[in-house]
Every structure is written in structure tokens, then in C-alpha cells.
Structure 1
Amino acid sequence: MRNYIQKGDTLTIPAPAVVLSGGVVIAGEIKGVAGGDALAGEAVDVSVTGVFELPKIAANAFPVGAAVHWNADSGLATSTASGNTKLGVAVEAAPASTATVRVRLSGF
């Protein structure tokens, strides 16, 4: 294939804001996790597939397979869809008593 560019699991894009390694990056329809620190506008590698452990809103519980959204204001995963960006699905149950949720990124 002459038109093949890359596998696409990780994309190098300009950081839409200051981001730390392991932080969620949302740039339009690109949603993923930063592979390193970057200032706004600097190149950052963003994993758009895979499973990541992310901080969540304490009161939220996620059964396996539940949709996980990102609340940009709090910087936490949430079960609330309205006003938030869908990241993927929970791959393990995450009761309200836990601080994190394991998320398989949707890859889009």
C-alpha cells in the first residue's frame, strides 16, 4: 500500500493545552492519553487506543462495560454524559468507593 502512513495507535499532535504525561488529551474528535508533558501547541504523543487507569469522580460507580466520559472542568472521569466527552468503556467494575476507573479508549 503506497498510501499507508502509520498504525495509528499513537498520534503526534499539537497539545491543545498544557498536558502532563498520563493526562487526558481532547483535541476535537481526537481523545487519548498523553505520552509525555507538553505546553500548549507543542508536539505531544497521544495514545488513542489501549486501557488506562484514570482518576474518577468519587461518587460515580462504573460496572464493566459502562460508558466513561471525561469532565474537563474537574479533570475526572464521570458517568455523566451530558456536557462531557466520551472516552471509552470501563473494563473493570469501579465502585463509588474507589478513586480510579480502568478505561479502554474508544480509539476515535
Structure 2
Amino acid sequence: MIARYVHEGKSLDYRPSEAVAAGEVIVLESLVGIARLDIASDTLGSLAVTGVFEVAKASGEISAGVPLYWDAKNKNVTTAAAGNIYIGKAVASAASADATVHLLLNAPYVAAVTA
């Protein structure tokens, strides 16, 4: 057997060592998930790995379509890749004064090609 279908992959099982609150962003190496519901410590729950989410953002304007990165220290998204992990792409623009931005979680990332 080379491969066998398991499920759609819209969410993944997750058993945290500490309680996780609904809406909390969880980083698993290079994969980012968001808890839809509270998950108690050592209890099986699930993380969304696809979908559009409203997420806290750093200050600054964000244009629709730009890559976004999770800043674990400040618990928000930013357009700065350095030291942060890719989380998805903005699906709507957000003004500098906006506290949140809508993002497509784990959107396919294609690096710009330069000649």
C-alpha cells in the first residue's frame, strides 16, 4: 500500500499537556492550528488547520493576499517573517488601527520568483 485516505484534514486530533482555550493558536513544528473549543489538559480535542479566522494583529496596515506570520511572543499575526512562523494569508485588508485581520489558515504559500 502506498497511501490510504484517512480524512479531509480540516482538523487534527490534539492532546495538550496543558489546558487550551478556544481560539488559542497552537504551533506544531511548522504546522499551525487553532482550537475551536476549549481542550482540557491530557484530553483529546481538535485543532482547525483550514478555514478563515479573525486573528489579533500587530500594528500596521495589512493588504489582502499578503502572507502572515504568527508572533508567539506577542500572540498576534504580523507581516514580518523573521523569527515567526507562517500561519496563512490575509483574505481582507486591515487598517493600521484595526485590532484584527481575517486570514486563511495555512493557505498555500508560494514564494515570489525573481529572475
The answer, yes or no, to whether TM exceeds 0.5 is yes
2:78 maps to amino acid:
T
Unpaired stretches in structure 1, ≥5 consecutive residues? none
Match of 2:77 in 1: 77
C-alpha contact 1:11 1:45 (8 A) present in aligned 2? yes
Q: Secondary structure at the match of 1:52?
A: strand
- Distance 1:55-1:8 versus aligned 2 partners, 3 A rule: same
Following TM superposition, by how much is the alpha carbon of 1:69 offset from its aligned partner in structure 2, in angstroms?
A: 0.7
Q: What is the CA deviation profile of residues 67-94 of structure 1, one whole-angstrom value per residue up to 9, with x for unaligned ones?
A: 1111101111111110001100000001
Inter-partner Cα distance in structure 2 for 1:70 and 1:101: 12
Following TM superposition, by how much is the alpha carbon of 1:30 offset from its aligned partner in structure 2, in angstroms?
A: 2.3
Unpaired stretches in structure 2, ≥5 consecutive residues? 109-115
C-alpha contact 2:89 2:106 (8 A) present in aligned 1? yes
Inter-partner Cα distance in structure 2 for 1:90 and 1:16: 31
Q: Which has the larger radius of gyration?
A: 2
Scaled by the length of structure 2, the TM-score of the pair is 0.81
Scaled by the length of structure 1, the TM-score of the pair is 0.86
Which consecutive segments of 4 or more residues in structure 1 shift more than 2 A?
A: 14-19, 38-44
- Distance 1:39-1:90 versus aligned 2 partners, 3 A rule: same
Count of equivalent residues: 106
- Distance 1:13-1:31 versus aligned 2 partners, 3 A rule: same
% same residue: 29
**Cα RMSD (Å) of the superposition?**
2.0
